[in-house]
A and B are shown apart, each in its own frame.
Chain A
Amino acid sequence: EAQVTQNPRYLITVTGKKLTVTCSQNMNHEYMSWYRQDPGLGLRQIYYSMNVEVTDKGDVPEGYKVSRKEKRNFPLILESPSPNQTSLYFCASSFRGASYEQYFGPGTRLTVT
């Protein structure tokens, strides 16, 4: 089944404790992206990657890191999480020439206390 998977789905952590949210897709997509979704602010792009070893900042990159060492994986790293990073996170992927049609994962609900 073609899909984007994220792990974990739910995470409660404390301020400053480094964490990684994994994202994997099995559709051979070149393009991958991370979004956060907050009430009243909608979906905002954090980082994106157009291919292996190519990443760039989205609208809200502060406090986040990403890497793209393999085509199928695009982990999101929070080196020192803070409460303002409490949010619902989505990973998405698409073919490079069809980035308007992105496939989203199920989401990761992160709470930072």
Chain B
Amino acid sequence: GESVGLHLPTLSVQEGDNSIINCAYSNSASDYFIWYKQESGKGPQFIIDIRSNMDKRQGQRVTVLLNKTVKHLSLQIAATQPGDSAVYFCAENMAGGTSYGKLTFGQGTILTVHP
């Protein structure tokens, strides 16, 4: 597969464990915070988003937590599976203004799930 980063943070878990991936963001004015998953050789894929006026949102096997006080975002994956192995990116998005539509990505975290 193609390398997407050098010296990215890594997280190794056993199949069935829960995974927590963290991200520090920079722009307090962002309207949305999002998690994307990128598998080797593919484009990023949307996982889940959270609006800035929320602190928690749940999806299927995933939960995103937003702590605006410390500008921290996390993605929790329940019962992690080998198919979850990928690079995970957090991103920020503006819903209006001159930066409308722009996604600003974090550096990414490599998640490896061992069977």
Q: Which residues of A contact B (CB under 8 A)?
A: 4, 31, 33, 35, 37, 39-40, 42-45, 48, 50, 58, 88, 90, 92, 94, 96, 99-107, 109
Contacts and interface: CB of A to CB of B under 8 A. Distances in A.
Contacts, number: 76
Contacts of A92: 43-44, 103
Given A43-B105, A100-B49, A100-B103, A90 B93 contact: no
Please report whether the interface of chain B is mostly helix, strand, loop or mixed according to DSSP. loop
Given A90-B44, A92-B43, A107-B43, A99 B7 contact: no
Given A39-B4, A88-B2, A109-B2, A100 B100 contact: no
Q: Categorize the interface residue count of chain B.
A: 20 to 34
Most chain B CB neighbours (cut-off 10 Å) among A4, A105, A107:
A107
Please report whether the interface of chain A is mostly helix, strand, loop or mixed according to DSSP. strand
Contacts of A44: 105
Given A44-B105, A48-B101, 10 more contacts: A37-B4, A42-B107, A45-B103, A58-B102, A90-B44, A99-B101, A102-B46, A106-B41, A106-B42, A107-B42
